[in-house]
Chain A
Amino acid sequence: DGGITQSPKYLFRKEGQNVTLSCEQNLNHDAMYWYRQDPGQGLRLIYYSQIVNDFQKGDIAEGYSVSREKKESFPLTVTSAQKNPTAFYLCASSMMDRSYEQYFGPGTRLTVT
């Protein structure tokens, strides 16, 4: 898991509630990423950020929001607009010029009922 921490490991929420997943890294990496993992599917990119106070949508950004106020932190908010929020969420980070070399956190399993 390297120097990336995600909390909590398990999260339960009622439908209609927003929830924020935490991701912190101490690797001094410039770029950070959020992925979603569902059974039988490859990881899908939600959002990524290459620099503080800047971020870009990935392939499945609808219903999610992020912020990057500090280099070490990249929290993900799952909003009530996300139609199928139950999933395993993975945060990753990399050096700016080595985006193919991403290091992953331990993940957060979100269950929405």
Chain B
Amino acid sequence: KNQVEQSPQSLIILEGKNCTLQCNYTVSPFSNLRWYKQDTGRGPVSLTIMTFSENTKSNGRYTATLDADTKQSSLHITASQLSDSASYICVVGENTGTASKLTFGTGTRLQVTL
């Protein structure tokens, strides 16, 4: 069964600090991996997307890495801000030929405090 596991479940950091969120997956055949940010009570918003051949992708203070051999990804947030407080969801796409079936992780809840 395809699975996406994220760690930690929750995280509290001080404003200005860096943090790294982890994502391990068993999805096969792998197509792509995406990180979303979801504010409480809102829809997820895409941060980065990586395919098999990409091992890093940046979006401002967010940098995602992908190791397709070990089936691991990480999302690094630099110089955190209060507005970074949200859930971060790792989503892995399975190559089904005609479409990409997505498997969602349960998310990491990040709280940035003063």
Contacts and interface: CB of A to CB of B under 8 A. Distances in A.
A100 B42 contact: no
B55 interface: no
Interface stretch (A63-71, A73-81, A105-113): A105-113
B49 A1 contact: no
Contacts of A103: 46
Interface in A73-107: 88, 90, 92, 99-107
Contact of B42 (A1, A41, A42, A92): A1
B99 interface: yes
B103 A42 contact: yes
**Secondary structure of the B contact surface, majority rule:** strand
Interface residues of A, number: 23
Interface string A37-49: 0001111110000
B104 A90 contact: no
Given A100-B31, A100-B93, A1 B41 contact: no
B34 A109 contact: no
A42 B91 CA distance: 9
A43 B104 contact: yes
A25 interface: no
Given A41-B106, A42-B4, A42-B104, A104 B99 contact: no
B99 A50 contact: yes
Contacts of B93: 99-100
Contact of A100 (B4, B44, B49, B89): B49
B105 A42 contact: yes
14 contacts: A42-B4, A43-B89, A88-B41, A90-B43, A99-B93, A99-B100, A99-B102, A100-B32, A100-B102, A101-B49, A103-B46, A104-B43, A107-B41, A107-B43
